[in-house]
């Protein structure tokens, strides 16, 4: 399969920008190759269905709502009761697409509909606080948390897989606006684009 | 916010005695700062405000000034709050304007957003959450911060001044056995070491919303000699706290007397700040006018510095004995039970007229000479306006709403189209290619050329912005049948059908193409303009009637990019490009197939258009650029023309497909000419029906007909003068290069009964009248019609 074209083509320039300093406050990275599926299970209370999903992904238990479970090649996100998302390598996504039958649930591939941006660095959360109205303190958004949010009216999915970085799943058609917004806000802290 | 600043000044000439700087204070004399005011050079010190530095040199200053940077007006600033920095330049604004604004209780500083250069952030919002928010860094505020921080709570302290300390900065009273500045320094050092404490100076609370939300304002650039391109000009911080502690000190209540806004009249708290913090005397002959014992603090401060007041006027009828004793001990004349009736002076204070309080008639005025009057009728705690109260203070903070980003969506082909020379157009919230003009061609001419190419050879247009809703689940077919009626459930896999989404009243919301991907899997596509209405309607229907449905609807607009390949040459181009045959017998009309092209998935659909064969070809958004490149390369040999939105609009009108202009919420399927299974007009009211119009020339042969335009009113073609509301109106119009004439779509009363007749289209100003022939929508492009 050919490489997918970036939604930020012509916008994302590698380098160090914004305020000078020894270390950039924020580091941005666009993750280009990933699969993203949203999974809705019709009968979420059925234990056998939960077990099937967990087995397919090689985990013993599904994460609680709003939490992220690390997988071998990606992450399973529990978006809300009965609604999950898989983010990671292509192979498990292909298995899920086939294995979940229409009688069990719906699987919608949305990897191309999203742009995946990774923010790390000491001031990453300070940049996000300039657009996201939810409480982003560690007590509310601990490592292993996923939440839906919006920045300037654009709906995004915010993931904090671990304490070192945040991942933003951004609608592809809004990615350029959001990229400009993020880099403008990050300029005061100095930022680097990988 | 209407701030009533603690002193009233008018701009004017300098004061008579030049040196008002005294010993002591908290200014940094080792750090001289040079600045300019109204073009003249001055010097102040670190810790000065613009006002104190000017007052120290005997210059009267206005309430607010224009700060300039690199010769350009940068921002308006409150003179008494503007921190002095090396090189600051300021000038007076119009004093009469400030008096007017003051009367209206409006401050220009608060209303006007700061200036900004292109590309810089003017205003940024920050959404902050803390356990405790402390407003004001006086002794009570600092103690509250320490107390909460020691419990491990997350604490934010905000202070509007550039220095922390609040009243500690203008008092000489000791606290906990320490001098006020020593106590402040120790406390700040302690707090600075606590990781759970954040302290923001130059930050002003502007409005409260409920018990736990406070909007505060920072101006990060206003103390910088040179603009920092990375900082915003204004930062609005919306702080949600478990508890907010207000420790903002007190404000002076002022006495009402004639001319109390004269230059030289100060509020007590500000005078204390000038004397104790900035080591500036408000005047050399000062009179204190008080209504409470606390006001004597100023006299005490002056006494401690060896400064003599000219008099104390105490408005109370019964002045406490210790106040009498203090005045006697200090040798200051005391006027108990007196009030000031008038301040006098030209431009600035020269003397005051004082009377004994009471109602006795014909009291004689006592005149006291002075150059400054310091007054405080009483004190009241500072308060903040609440959101919802009638106040200008909310200003740009508004409610805790997010800044709205421009919502122009960009499809995956934006860059490719730009490379191909597209003229961009923002349409239905998407950035689209309007046309691809050749050298020397304008967008209008390009649109006509592109539309003609679709009739004659082959054209290709971007469809990525089409609204797309994926519907899956065992109940999907039943739901769609319920929504659209007809036999959607009977639609075979690999086929699609045009359906209409209607309101309960029968009014059409939008035409939709329903694709059956699999037994339990459908895709709906629609015009971008209709997407929100369709999605909202479907969600409402799915949730309202049966919440247990096994059904999932997902917006997949961004997941798929697409191209329309249209015209007689489309089959040949696709056959030359794609790895499978696209001959008609293999792909039936309104049929589609999925296959792989260079390892990426492709969905090819055969769409029947009145103008000839047409195909839609979709792939995942990240690969659509590859498809575009492939088709444009292969297309060179087929005479492929890139087609923008202008040409597509011409083609739409030619083929009679209703667009948003034709869907006014009342037009029914029947009105639009779609076959209906039930009576949609049981009352047999006169209804406006969609028709096609073609201009016919009524003038001399060869004379060009005037253009048809949207909004033209339709009248009978019986030769009578066009009066009254008419019988319909034009909803879409264009010049068809294919037909070589003006055509239009219109909503016409009893339109179908008028097919074949001639009527008149009349402009609003009645200047333009065009004879038009009525036909079915799309009749203009039919072969028969062309020959006719």
- A98 and A80 assigned to the same domain: yes
Option in A10, A106, A173 nearest B411 (CB): A173
Closest residue in chain A to residue B623, using alpha carbons only: A4
Q: Which of B402, B406, B522, B562 to mutate to test the interface with A (most CBs of A within 10 A)?
A: B402
Question: Within a domain: residue A122?
Answer: yes
- A82 and A132 assigned to the same domain: no
Question: Within a domain: residue A81?
Answer: yes
| CA angle B588–B594–B595, rounded 5-degree value | 115
Task: Quote the minimal CA–CA distance from B244 to chain A in Å.
Answer: 17
Structural domain including A55 reads 35-109
Last residue of some domain: B530, B556, B582? B556
Which residues numbered 200-259 in B keep a CB inside 8 Å of some CB on A? 228-232, 238, 240
- Which residues of chain A are within 8 Å of residue B467 when distances are taken between CB atoms? none
Option in A140, A153, A175 nearest B404 (CB): A153
- A101 and A117 assigned to the same domain: no
- Which residues of chain B are within 8 Å of residue A153 when distances are taken between CB atoms? 402, 404-405, 407
Which residues numbered 537-556 in B keep a CB inside 8 Å of some CB on A? 550, 552, 554, 556
pLDDT at A93: 93
Q: How far apart are CA B762 and CA B632, in angstroms?
A: 43
* Closest to A7 measured CA to CA, from A112, A109, A78: A112
- B593 and B450 assigned to the same domain: yes
Chain centroid, CA B362 distance in Å: 60
Beta strands B155-158 and B123-135 are: parallel
Question: Within a domain: residue A100?
Answer: yes
Give the pLDDT confidence of A76-133 residue by residue, as tens digits.
999 998 899 999 999 999 999 999 999 999 999 999 999 999 999 999 999 999 999 9
- Which residues of chain B are within 8 Å of residue A152 when distances are taken between CB atoms? 402-405
- A96 and A123 assigned to the same domain: no
The CATH number covering residue B434 comes to: 3.30.1360.120
Question: Within a domain: residue B755?
Answer: yes
- B317 and B450 assigned to the same domain: no
Could you tell me if A39 and A107 are in contact, meaning their C-beta atoms sit under 8 angstroms apart?
A: yes
pLDDT at B116: 43
- B714 and B764 assigned to the same domain: yes
Quote the strand ranges of B527-634, DSSP E: 552-555, 560-566, 592-597, 600-609, 612-620
Last residue of some domain: A109, A127, A145? A109
Task: Quote the minimal CA–CA distance from B419 to chain A in Å.
Answer: 12
Q: How far apart are CA B12 and CA B15, in angstroms?
A: 9
The H-or-E segment that residue B301 falls in is: helix B296-304
Q: How far apart are CA B229 and CA B693, in angstroms?
A: 57
Q: How far apart are CA A5 and CA B561, in angstroms?
A: 12
Question: Within a domain: residue A102?
Answer: yes
Q: How far apart are CA A66 and CA A37, in angstroms?
A: 16
Q: How far apart are CA B83 and CA B277, in angstroms?
A: 13
Interface contact B558-A112, CB threshold 8 A: yes
Low-confidence ranges of chain B (pLDDT < 70): 1-18, 94-121, 359-362, 388-402, 545-547, 580-585, 608-611, 676-686, 698-703, 779-788
- B92 and B216 assigned to the same domain: no
- Which residues of chain B are within 8 Å of residue A129 when distances are taken between CB atoms? 126-128
**Counting one residue from A and one from B, how many pairs have CB atoms under 8 Å apart?**
139
- A153 and A179 assigned to the same domain: yes
Interface contact B407-A177, CB threshold 8 A: yes
Option in B127, B229, B621 nearest A172 (CB): B621
- A83 and A133 assigned to the same domain: no
Give the pLDDT confidence of B495-551 residue by residue, as tens digits.
999 899 998 888 899 999 999 999 999 999 999 999 999 999 999 988 876 667 899
Stretch A161-171: mean pLDDT, rounded?
96
- B450 and B487 assigned to the same domain: no
Which residues numbered 46-75 in B keep a CB inside 8 Å of some CB on A? none
Structure tokens at B774: 């009525």
Question: Within a domain: residue B386?
Answer: no
Strand-pair partners of B747 = B690, B729
Could you tell me if B48 and B78 are in contact, meaning their C-beta atoms sit under 8 angstroms apart?
A: no
Closest residue in chain B to residue A184, using alpha carbons only: B121
- B563 and B452 assigned to the same domain: yes
Q: Reduced to 3 states, what is the DSSP secondary structure of residue B677?
A: coil
Interface contact B558-A171, CB threshold 8 A: yes
- A136 and A99 assigned to the same domain: no
Structural domain including B491 reads 470-556
pLDDT at B626: 93
Which residues numbered 462-521 in B keep a CB inside 8 Å of some CB on A? 470, 472-474, 518-521
- B201 and B284 assigned to the same domain: no
- B569 and B452 assigned to the same domain: yes
- Listing DSSP states for B148-166 in one string gives HHTTT--EEEE-SSSSS-G
Interface contact A1-B599, CB threshold 8 A: yes
Option in A112, A129, A171 nearest B127 (CB): A129
Last residue of some domain: A86, A109, A132? A109
- Which residues of chain A are within 8 Å of residue B128 when distances are taken between CB atoms? 129
Q: Which of B463, B549, B551, B552 to mutate to test the interface with A (most CBs of A within 10 A)?
A: B552
The CATH number covering residue B750 comes to: 2.40.30.110
- B170 and B132 assigned to the same domain: yes
Last residue of some domain: B375, B392, B425? B375
Closest residue in chain B to residue A151, using alpha carbons only: B402
Option in A7, A42, A108 nearest B550 (CB): A42
The CATH number covering residue B32 comes to: 3.10.20
Question: Within a domain: residue B665?
Answer: no
Structure tokens at B399: 């409610």
- B552 and B572 assigned to the same domain: no
Give the CA distances from residue B125 to residues A133, B25, B37, B227, B235, in Å, rounded to whole numbers and listed in that order: 10, 36, 33, 19, 6
- B491 and B612 assigned to the same domain: no
Closest residue in chain B to residue A5, using alpha carbons only: B622
Option in A18, A152, A173 nearest B409 (CB): A173
Last residue of some domain: A109, A134, A151? A109
The CATH number covering residue B273 comes to: 3.50.50.60
* Cα atoms found within 13 Å of the Cα of residue B106, Cβ hemisphere only: 10
- A71 and A129 assigned to the same domain: no
- Total domains in the fold of chain B: 6
ipTM of the complex: 0.96
Give the CA distances from residue B634 to residues B5, B567, B574, B577, B627, in Å, rounded to whole numbers and listed in that order: 73, 15, 9, 7, 11
Task: Quote the minimal CA–CA distance from B474 to chain A in Å.
Answer: 6
Q: Which of A173, A178, A181, A188 to mutate to test the interface with B (most CBs of B within 10 A)?
A: A173
Question: Within a domain: residue B388?
Answer: no
Question: Within a domain: residue B613?
Answer: yes
The CATH number covering residue A105 comes to: 3.30.70.1520
Interface contact B598-A2, CB threshold 8 A: yes
- Listing DSSP states for A155-180 in one string gives EEEEEEEETTEEEEEEEGGGHHHHHH
The CATH number covering residue B481 comes to: 3.30.70.1400
For residue B421, which phi and psi values (nearest 5 degrees)?
Answer: 90, 25
- Total domains in the fold of chain A: 2
- A186 and A147 assigned to the same domain: yes
- B462 and B486 assigned to the same domain: no
Measured between its terminal Cα atoms, the distance across chain B in Å is 72
Question: Within a domain: residue B599?
Answer: yes
pTM confidence score: 0.86
Question: Within a domain: residue A10?
Answer: no
Task: Quote the minimal CA–CA distance from A105 to chain B in Å.
Answer: 7
Give the CA distances from residue B738 to residues B458, B529, B607, B741, in Å, rounded to whole numbers and listed in that order: 14, 27, 21, 8
% of chain A residues with pLDDT over 90: 86
- Which residues of chain B are within 8 Å of residue A137 when distances are taken between CB atoms? 129, 154
The CATH number covering residue A175 comes to: 3.30.1360.120
Question: Within a domain: residue B131?
Answer: yes
Question: Within a domain: residue B663?
Answer: no
Question: Within a domain: residue A9?
Answer: no
pLDDT at B394: 38
- A136 and A183 assigned to the same domain: yes
- A105 and A121 assigned to the same domain: no
- A117 and A104 assigned to the same domain: no
Task: Quote the minimal CA–CA distance from B559 to chain A in Å.
Answer: 4
């Amino acid at each position: 399969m050919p490489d997918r074209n970036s939604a930020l083509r012509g916008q994302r320039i590698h380098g160090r920008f914004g305020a000078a300093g020894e270390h950039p406050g924020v580091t941005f990275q666009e993750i280009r190759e990933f699969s993203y599926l949203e999974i809705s299970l019709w009968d979420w209370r059925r234990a056998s269905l939960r077990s099937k999903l967990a087995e397919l992904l090689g985990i013993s238990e599904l994460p609680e709502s709003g939490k992220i479970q690390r997988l071998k090649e990606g992450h399973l996100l529990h978006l809300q009761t009965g609604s999950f998302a898989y983010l990671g390598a292509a192979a498990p996504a292909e298995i899920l697409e086939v294995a979940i039958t229409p009688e069990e649930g719906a699987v919608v591939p949305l990897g191309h509909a999203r742009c995946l941006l990774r923010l790390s660095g000491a001031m990453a959360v300070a940049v996000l606080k300039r657009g996201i109205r939810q409480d982003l303190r560690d007590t509310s958004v601990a490592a292993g948390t996923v939440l839906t949010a919006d920045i300037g009216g654009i709906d995004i999915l915010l993931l904090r897989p671990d304490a070192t970085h945040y991942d933003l799943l951004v609608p592809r058609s809004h990615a350029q606006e959001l990229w400009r917004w993020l880099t403008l806000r990050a300029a005061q802290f100095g930022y680097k684009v990988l | 916010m209407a701030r009533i600043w603690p002193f009233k000044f008018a701009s004017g000439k300098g004061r008579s005695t030049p040196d008002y700087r005294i010993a002591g204070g908290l200014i940094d004399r080792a750090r001289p700062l040079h600045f300019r005011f109204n073009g003249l050079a001055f010097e102040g010190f670190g810790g000065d405000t613009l006002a104190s530095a000017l007052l120290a040199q005997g210059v009267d200053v206005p309430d607010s000034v224009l700060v300039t940077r690199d010769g350009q007006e940068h921002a308006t600033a409150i003179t008494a709050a503007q921190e002095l920095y090396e090189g600051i330049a300021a000038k007076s604004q119009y004093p009469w304007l400030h008096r007017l604004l003051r009367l209206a209780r409006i401050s220009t500083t608060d209303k006007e957003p700061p200036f900004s250069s292109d590309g810089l952030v003017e205003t940024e919002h920050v959404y902050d959450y803390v356990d405790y928010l402390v407003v004001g860094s006086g002794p009570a505020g600092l103690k509250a911060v320490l107390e909460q921080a020691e419990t491990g709570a997350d604490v934010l302290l905000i202070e509007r001044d550039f220095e922390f300390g609040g009243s500690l900065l203008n008092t000489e009273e000791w606290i906990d056995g320490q001098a006020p500045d020593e106590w402040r320094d120790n406390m700040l050092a302690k707090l600075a070491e606590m990781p759970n404490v954040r302290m923001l100076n130059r930050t002003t609370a502007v409005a409260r919303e409920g018990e736990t939300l406070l909007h505060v304002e920072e101006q990060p650039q206003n103390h910088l000699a040179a603009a920092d391109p990375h900082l915003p000009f204004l930062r609005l911080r919306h702080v949600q706290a478990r508890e907010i502690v207000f420790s903002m000190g007190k404000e002076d209540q002022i006495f009402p007397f004639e001319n109390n806004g004269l230059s030289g009249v100060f509020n007590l708290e500000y005078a204390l700040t000038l004397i104790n913090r900035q080591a500036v005397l408000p005047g050399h002959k000062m009179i204190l006018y008080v209504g409470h014992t606390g006001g004597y603090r100023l006299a005490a401060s002056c006494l401690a510095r060896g400064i003599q007041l000219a008099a104390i006027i105490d408005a109370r009828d019964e002045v406490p004995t210790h106040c009498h004793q203090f005045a006697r001990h200090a040798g200051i004349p005391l006027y108990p039970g007196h009030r000031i009736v008038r301040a006098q002076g030209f431009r600035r204070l020269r003397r005051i007229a004082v009377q004994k309080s009471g109602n006795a008639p014909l009291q004689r005025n006592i005149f006291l000479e002075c150059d400054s009057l310091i007054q405080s009728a009483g004190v009241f705690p500072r308060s903040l306006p609440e959101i919802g109260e009638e106040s200008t203070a909310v200003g740009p903070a508004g409610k805790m709403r997010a800044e709205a980003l421009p919502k122009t969506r960009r499809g995956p082909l934006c860059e490719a189209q730009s490379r191909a020379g597209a003229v961009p157009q923002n349409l239905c919230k998407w950035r689209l290619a309007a046309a691809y003009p050749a050298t020397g061609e304008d967008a209008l001419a390009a649109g006509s050329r592109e539309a003609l190419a679709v009739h004659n050879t082959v054209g290709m247009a971007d469809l990525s912005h089409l609204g797309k809703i994926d519907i899956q689940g065992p109940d999907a077919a039943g739901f769609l049948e319920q929504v659209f009626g007809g036999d959607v459930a009977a639609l075979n896999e690999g086929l699609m059908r045009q359906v209409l989404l209607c309101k309960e009243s029968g009014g059409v919301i939008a035409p939709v193409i329903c694709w059956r991907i699999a037994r339990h899997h459908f895709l709906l596509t629609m015009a971008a303009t209709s997407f929100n209405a369709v999605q909202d309607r479907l969600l409402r229907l799915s949730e309202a009637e049966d919440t247990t449905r096994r059904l999932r609807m997902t917006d997949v607009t961004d997941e798929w990019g697409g191209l329309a390949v249209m015209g007689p040459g489309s089959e040949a181009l696709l056959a030359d490009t794609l790895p499978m045959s696209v001959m008609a017998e293999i792909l039936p009309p309104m049929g589609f197939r999925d296959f792989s092209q260079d390892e990426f998935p492709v969905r090819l659909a055969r769409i029947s258009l009145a103008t000839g064969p047409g195909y839609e070809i979709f792939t995942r958004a990240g690969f659509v650029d590859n498809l575009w490149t492939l088709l444009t390369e292969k297309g060179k040999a087929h005479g492929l023309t890139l087609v923008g939105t202008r040409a597509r609009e011409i083609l739409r009108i030619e083929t009679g497909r209703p667009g948003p202009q034709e869907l006014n919420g009342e037009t029914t399927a029947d009105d639009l000419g779609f076959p209906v299974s039930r009576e949609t007009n049981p009352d047999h009211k006169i209804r406006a029906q969609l028709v096609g119009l073609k201009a016919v020339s009524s003038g001399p042969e060869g004379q060009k007909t005037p253009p048809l335009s949207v909004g033209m009113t339709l009248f009978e073609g019986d030769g009578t003068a066009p009066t009254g509301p008419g019988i319909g109106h034009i909803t879409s119009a264009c010049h068809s290069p294919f037909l070589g004439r003006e055509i239009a779509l219109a909503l016409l009363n009893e339109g179908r009964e008028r097919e074949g007749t001639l009527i008149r289209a009349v402009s609003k100003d009645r200047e333009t009248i065009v004879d038009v022939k009525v036909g079915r929508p799309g009749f203009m492009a039919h072969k028969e019609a062309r020959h006719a």
